[in-house]
Amino acid sequence: MSSLETLDFSSNVIVGTLPEELFNMTTLSVIKLGGNSLTGKLPSELRHLSLLTYLGLGNNSFTGSLPSELGLMTSLTGIYLGVNELTGSLPSELGVLISLTTLSLSENSLTGSLPSELGLLTSLNKLFLSENSMTGTLPSELVLLSSLEYLELAGNRFSGSIPTELVRLILNLDQAHQDYW
């Protein structure tokens, strides 16, 4: 399988950890293993999959923190890791993934504040971080997410006020959608 580009075993009953051999499949651009019973930590060896555009490992039982090495995977356009048991804070290294359009990390046990580097993700149009245990204030850099269409932060422990600039962005997005429909 030296030229395999898509690996899709989603919605099965696959158990265990990610096999080490997976990280040698350097031609992969899509991994869909969501909806299984995979366990263990997300390995930093994922960084070897430099052509990966879609990482779909949601709805499993992965634990531990998000590896900062995800920031080395600059081809990623979609990260789907929701409904796992991930802990720790979001690595600031995610801010270099300028091609990222979807970041889905809802229903984990993530903590800490939103890194201001998320504001660098100007291609991001979907940010799902609901039902975690994140804290702190909302960074004003979120206003830089000019492509944002969906922002879900419900069920966290954010405090303070919503940045005025973000409210203006939300109102502008809402107005654009009303004009479209």
Q: Model-level pTM? A: 0.92
**Does residue 36 belong to any structural domain of this protein?**
yes
Predicted pLDDT of residue 175: 61
Whether residue 1 lies inside any domain: the answer is no
Question: How many domains does the chain fold into?
Answer: 1
Range of the domain at 26: 6-180
Residues 141-174 have pLDDT tens digits of 998 998 999 999 999 999 998 888 777 777 776 6
What string of H, E and C letters represents the secondary structure of the chain? CCCCCEEECCCCCCEECCCHHHHHCCCCCEEECCCCEEEEECCHHHHHCCCCCEEECCCCEEEECCCHHHHHCCCCCEEECCCCEEEECCCHHHHHCCCCCEEECCCCEECCCCCHHHHHCCCCCEEECCCCCCEECCCHHHHHCCCCCEEECCCCEECCCCCHHHHHHHHHHHHHHHHHC
CATH number of the domain enclosing 17: 3.80.10.10
Q: 105-132 pLDDT, tens per residue?
A: 999 999 999 999 999 999 999 999 999 9
% of the chain with per-residue pLDDT over 70: 93
Residue 43, in any domain of the structure: yes
